[in-house]
Structure 1
Amino acid sequence: MKINANEIKVGMLIEYKDDLWEILKTQHVKPGKGGAFCQVEMKSINKNTKLNERFRSNDSIEKASIENIEFNYLYDDEINYYFINQKNFEQVEVKKDIIGEKGKLLKENLNVDLIFHEDKAIGIELPNQVQFKIKSTDVALKGQTVSSSYKPAILENDIKIQVPPFIESGDEILVDTRTIEYIKKV
């Protein structure tokens, strides 16, 4: 689907120079002299390289056609993560380098959306909140102020996070997957 350059938004996927690109930053500029343009920073999905490009406002850009399909996370090995579609029981493997840091937040039986482009998985969309158990945390010190004093904790998947002083080892908490921050105790 063709779109104008001034419709480009952060997070959008476009097809450009025979590759698939994710938009990281956009800046619309209207100079005093000459036509308006859009300065775009983008990252290649396939090659993992970055590119800064300038598009005139009336340039046509090919927006990538993507499809989100819900899958259930099964397990992982040294190279891949494995998912299953609960509707047709199709099993899909996705390379760890495609998912990247988000892979640390995967738990067995977690429902996620896999992002497909031309029948190839190119990314993952996690739910906004995931429940984790605290593996270990420091003991809260008596007399420590309650307001904005957080302490370090380690989750069951070895991610380090800051939690309020009343959280103890073994507690279940909700974590925001976008910011990897504590939300609330469960």
Structure 2
Amino acid sequence: MAVEIAADIRKGNIIEHTDGQLYVVLRAESFRPGKGTPTTTIDMRRISDGIKISNTYKTSDKVERAFVEEVEFSYLYQEGDNYVFMNTSNYDQVTVSGAMVGDGAAYLQENMNVTLQMFNGEPVSLTLPQRITAEIVETEPVVKGQTASGSYKPAKLDNGLRIMVPPHIGVGTRVVVNTDDGSYLERAKD
């Protein structure tokens, strides 16, 4: 275990809470008011049973961060509510629960490389690539003369997700999407 100050905790970190349980950090946000004590709010999910909690710490409070091994895996397929990944170095397969994958399941693509955080040989958290490429399958038609506008229109991706895209993007266009917040980044260059 490593001790860090609360302000240094980031999404995806595994921490040991005061109850002795391991938690994965879902969101960590620091708040620095003009007057008063700066604080960090950490939203986390207990690894053992999936219960979510939120705690607020002073930014200088000490938090125990668990040592986890980050291992590169390749996504293979979905099996019921679970997802199967293969270790890219030794070809071992690991099954990860749908609860652990969470909202990131929609971004999973066959043979996509992800990072699994392993604690005592068991997966405890999953990190997706920062960006994925997907194809637009449904959107409003392109409106002539609206390409320079700052407005966005709804679009549906081939993975079923709905995002907002610029008006000049049409059906069949491949786009790059940010996996953190599901936002459109750019048109794919492939």
Query: So what's the TM-score if we normalise by structure 2?
Result: 0.80
Q: Say yes or no: does 1:52 pair with 2:55.
A: yes
Counterpart AA for 2:3 = I
Structure 1 CA distance, aligned partners of 2:40 and 2:176? 38
> What SS class does the counterpart of residue 141 from structure 1 fall into?
coil
Which amino acid in structure 2 is aligned with residue 183 of structure 1?
Answer: L
Partner of 1:97, secondary structure, is helix
**Deviation of 1:77 (Å):** 2.7
Aligned pairs for 1:161-176 within 5 A? 161-176=163-178
Which stretch has the larger CA shift, 2-11 or 82-91? 2-11
SS at match of 1:153: strand
| Counterpart contact for 2:6–2:62, Cα < 8 Å | no
Give the length in aligned residue pairs: 181
Query: For residues 1-30 of structure 1, what are the alpha-carbon distances to aligned partners after superposition, in whole Å with 9 as ceiling and x for unaligned?
Result: 34254565233321121211226345689x
Asked if 2 retains the 8 angstrom alpha-carbon contact of 1:113 and 1:126, the reply is yes
More off after superposition, 66-75 vs 117-126:
117-126
Deviation at 1:44, TM superposition (A): 3.1
Query: Structure 1 stretches of 5 or more lacking a match?
Result: none
**Contact residue 177 and residue 185 of structure 2 kept, 8 A:** yes
Identity %: 31
More off after superposition, 114-123 vs 153-162: 114-123
Structure 2, unaligned runs of 5 or more? none
In the TM superposition, what is the alpha-carbon distance from 1:154 to its structure 2 partner?
0.5
User: Residue deviations 1:129-182, cap 9 Å, x none?
Assistant: 111111111102234362212221100011001112222211111111122111
CA-based RMSD of the aligned residues comes to 2.7
- Closer, same or farther: CA 142–93 of 1 in aligned 2, 3 Å: same
2:102 matched residue in structure 1: 100
Tell me which amino acid in the other structure corresponds to 1:44.
R
What pairs up with 1:36-51 in 2 under 5 angstroms? 40-46=41-47, 47-51=50-54
Q: Counterparts in 2 of 1:92-131, with a 5 A limit?
A: 92-131=94-133
Partner of 2:3: 3
Aligned match of 1:155 in 150, 154, 157?
157
The aligned amino acid for 1:174 is V
Structure 1 residues 145 and 37: alpha-carbon distance in aligned structure 2, compared to 1, 3 A threshold: closer
* Aligned residue identity for 1:18: G
Q: 1:6 to 1:85 in 2, by over 3 A?
A: closer
Question: How far does residue 60 in structure 1 lie from its aligned partner after superposition?
Answer: 5.5
Q: Give, as a single letter, the amino acid of the residue that structure 1 aligns with 2:81.
A: I
The equivalent of 2:137 in structure 1 is 135
Which has the higher Rg, Structure 1 or Structure 2?
Answer: 1
Label 1:64 to 1:28 Cα distance change in 2 as closer, same or farther (>3 A).
farther
Name the CA distance, whole Å, in 2 between partners of 1:115 and 1:2.
16
Alignment partners' CA distance in 2, 1:172 and 1:51? 37
TM-score, length basis structure 1? 0.82
**AA in 2 matched with 1:52:** N
